A and B are shown apart, each in its own frame.
Chain A
């Protein structure tokens, strides 16, 4: 029996270890992009009584060409608190350990943003993490613009086009 108890305790400890660092509320959502833009929010708001809970939400998307990224999240203060306490708002490439773009708080506002240019094509995820400070219902929302930047070969094609135009003009001039 004692052995059993020991085993159980070990199992419990292992379980706790595995879950350490996991947030109370986690949501993984694929962004519904329209021409590279989307607004996003936790599918369910933080219900009244979520005070003290931590959250870690992921919003994923795929870009097939190089792009610029601009995004922000905002929320509202409630009562004596700022409602939510945000600890991170970052852009990660899937599989990457460190963020590609790190968000920062817009001074004196319940708003964080990140901005970056010439990011490479691939799978990405926007991560929003923090904790709930208020005992009343609250939520946050965000918006993102992912604009494709012309690839190097697009510029090359434009240059080639100019070249052909120049040649034609030259031939016409000579012919006249």
Chain B
């Protein structure tokens, strides 16, 4: 009987050691996002049995021109079965945090938003940080919208110059007439 108890205890210890080792990191590998169409959805799922697992998921993208962007991320039922999102931030190519926000809501749904203006062309990463809150599987989803800043193109300037030239010629002709 004692032996059985010992065995049971050892098994329990083994199980708890396993589950605490499991609780370390459950992050996904970095996913690239194609922002060429200006609007893109993203998301990720975590299988069951990862309770307590922590994650920092990264979605990378590059901006071809100066832009502003908006992004959101949400997860249903964060307290009972979903994921608890604890941070949502935009990282620049040098690793510095450019924008981070407080969450919009928590409780029945976890929702976070970023509004970032005046970003120069370059590489960026969206980071979603959180924790798996239950033995159930869970997922989050989000959207990213990119708006290119209205910078005049080279041909716009060319047209302006041409227009000025025409005005100059007309003025000159009128004067000489």
The answer to whether A and B interact is yes
Are B39 and A145 interface neighbours, CB within 8 A?
no
A102 to B72, CA, bound (A): 23
Segment 129-156 of A: residues with Cβ below 8 Å from B: 136-145, 147
Are A41 and B48 interface neighbours, CB within 8 A?
no
Does A37 interact with chain B (Cβ within 8 Å)?
yes
Q: A76-B143, A113-B108 are in contact. List 15 more A-B contacts (CB 8 A).
A: A34-B137, A39-B43, A46-B39, A47-B37, A70-B82, A73-B141, A74-B111, A111-B111, A113-B76, A113-B109, A140-B41, A143-B82, A143-B140, A145-B77, A145-B137
A42 to B108, CA, bound (A): 24
Are A37 and B45 interface neighbours, CB within 8 A?
yes
Contact with A along B67-100 (1 / 0, CB 8 A): 0001110111100011000000000000000000
| B141 / chain A contacts, CB cutoff of 8 Å | 39-41, 73-74, 141-143
Q: Can you list 9 contacts pairing A with B, beta carbon distance less than 8 Å? A: A37-B136, A37-B138, A39-B42, A39-B139, A74-B142, A111-B109, A113-B76, A141-B42, A141-B143
B143 vs chain A, min Cβ distance (A): 5
Contact with B along A38-71 (1 / 0, CB 8 A): 1111100111100000000000000000001011
A46 to B39, CA, bound (A): 8
| A42 / chain B contacts, CB cutoff of 8 Å | 41
Contact size range, B? 35 or more
Does B55 interact with chain A (Cβ within 8 Å)?
no
A145 to B83, CA, bound (A): 10
A39 to B59, CA, bound (A): 15
The one of A45, A76, A137 that contacts B72, using a Cβ cutoff of 8 Å = A76
A142 to B138, CA, bound (A): 12
Contact with B along A66-86 (1 / 0, CB 8 A): 001011111111100000000
Does A162 interact with chain B (Cβ within 8 Å)?
no
The one of B72, B113, B136, B139 that contacts A143, using a Cβ cutoff of 8 Å = B139
| A145 / chain B contacts, CB cutoff of 8 Å | 76-77, 81-82, 136-139
Q: B: which residues have CB within 8 A of A?
A: 37-49, 70-72, 74-77, 81-82, 104-105, 108-109, 111, 113, 136-143, 145, 147
B140 vs chain A, min Cβ distance (A): 6
B81 vs chain A, min Cβ distance (A): 5
Number of interface residues of A (CB under 8 A): 40
* B73 to A, closest residue via Cβ: A74
Does A7 interact with chain B (Cβ within 8 Å)?
no
Are A147 and B39 interface neighbours, CB within 8 A?
no
A76 vs chain B, min Cβ distance (A): 5
| A136 / chain B contacts, CB cutoff of 8 Å | 38-39, 145, 147
Are A115 and B139 interface neighbours, CB within 8 A?
no
Are B77 and A115 interface neighbours, CB within 8 A?
yes
Are A143 and B47 interface neighbours, CB within 8 A?
no
The one of A36, A71, A137 that contacts B76, using a Cβ cutoff of 8 Å = A71
Are A139 and B76 interface neighbours, CB within 8 A?
no
Which 3 A-B residue pairings sit nearest by Cβ, starting from the closest? A39-B43, A41-B41, A35-B137
The one of A106, A115, A139 that contacts B41, using a Cβ cutoff of 8 Å = A139
B37 vs chain A, min Cβ distance (A): 6
